[in-house]
Amino acid sequence: MSTNTGDQRQRVTVHTLADKKRKREPIVSITAYDYSSARLADEAGVDFILVGDSVAQVMLGYDSTLPVTMDEMVYHSRIVRRAVRHALLVVDMPFGSYHTGTLAALENAVRLVKEGGAEAVKIEGGVSRVPFIRRVIDAEIPVMGHIGLTPQSVHRMGGYKVQGKTSRAIEQLMRDAEALDKVGVSALVLEGIPREVAIRITAEVATPTIGIGAGPDCDGQIIVYHDLVGLTFSSPAKFVRRYCNAGTLITEAIQAYRDDIRSRAFPSDAESYHLPRDVQRVLGESDNDSAGRQK
């Protein structure tokens, strides 16, 4: 299997992300949930791979991230772990896995590390999550924060709406970002907020900020693999840039396969296995009577 970047690349750690912010080098990240996509992303040289709870919508067919379970996150994390050699592996803590208390947060974060191979976990929310996040960091597990449009808060937000559009909401976001920075998160995802607010947060905190729908001024960007390659079914959000349309390519390939089977063009004789000539001869003889006629 070829690799574009070679195997000499250093493994990315949470310290690499901090270094990149200091050196103003953009951080490249992608959400992936399975072996082939994670392996392609790792070989293409992304800095971190997130096993996001968006797996609920993208791969499991739910209409929000809320139903995905700890067991399902562990399952996807183990698969991605087997594919990733260089990138940092971050795994989302799903809805309900830290909302019920500090001990639950800790136990579930430990599961993602021990069973899923995570090197960091991501927790949505700001100031109110600080006690949980502190406990997880105290247990030697790096945490990534996530504020702004936090999909696990869809019911409180009343839908998937851009956040931080009033001065009150901006002040709350600033307080959230500063609290997460102070508690020591290793990176901070800023989702669905105005570019101007992302600029303020990125300038204010030492933590690297990772934008998704937050403009180009964050310290890094993240996008879902399936969105990037055009493998999703609904029309993409404004912030998604599709770099190819794999969905159309795959559909056309399957239609060509269907047509070839129906016209008996597939498989061809060259795509078939054959008996060795001597066996063919013996079989041919036994299929004929002594006068050479077919039985």
Q: Which residues are catalytic?
A: 191
> Strands, E, within the chain: which ranges?
27-31, 48-51, 88-92, 120-124, 143-148, 187-191, 209-212, 220-224
31 binds ligand KIV (CB under 6 A): yes
From residue 267, how far is each of 136, 255, 263, 276 by CA, in Å?
55, 15, 10, 20
Chosen residue from 189, 198, 201, 231 binding ligand KIV by CB under 6 A: 189
With contacts defined by CB under 6 A, name the span among 36-44, 50-58, 75-83, 170-178 that binds ligand KIV.
Answer: 50-58
* Phi, psi for 159 (deg, rounded to 5): 125, 175
224 binds ligand KIV (CB under 6 A): yes
**Would you say 187 and 207 are in contact if contact means Cβ atoms under 8 Å apart?**
yes
Q: Which is nearer to ligand KIV, 234 or 268 (CB)?
A: 234
Q: Which is nearer to ligand KIV, 170 or 210 (CB)?
A: 210
**Would you say 222 and 29 are in contact if contact means Cβ atoms under 8 Å apart?**
yes
With contacts defined by CB under 6 A, name the span among 51-59, 74-82, 177-185, 227-235 that binds ligand KIV.
Answer: 51-59
Q: CB of 104: closest distance to ligand KIV in angstroms? A: 20
Residue spans of alpha helices (H) in 128-217: 130-138, 154-157, 167-183, 195-204
232 binds ligand KIV (CB under 6 A): no
Angstrom distance (rounded) from CA 58 to CA 76: 13
With contacts defined by CB under 6 A, name the span among 45-53, 133-141, 234-242, 248-256 that binds ligand KIV.
Answer: 45-53
208: three-class secondary structure by DSSP: coil
Place of tokens 């809320």: 66
Q: Which is nearer to ligand KIV, 112 or 222 (CB)?
A: 222
Q: CB of 279: closest distance to ligand KIV in angstroms? A: 56
**Residues contributing to the site for ligand KIV (CB under 6 A):** 31, 50, 52-54, 92, 189, 191, 212, 222, 224
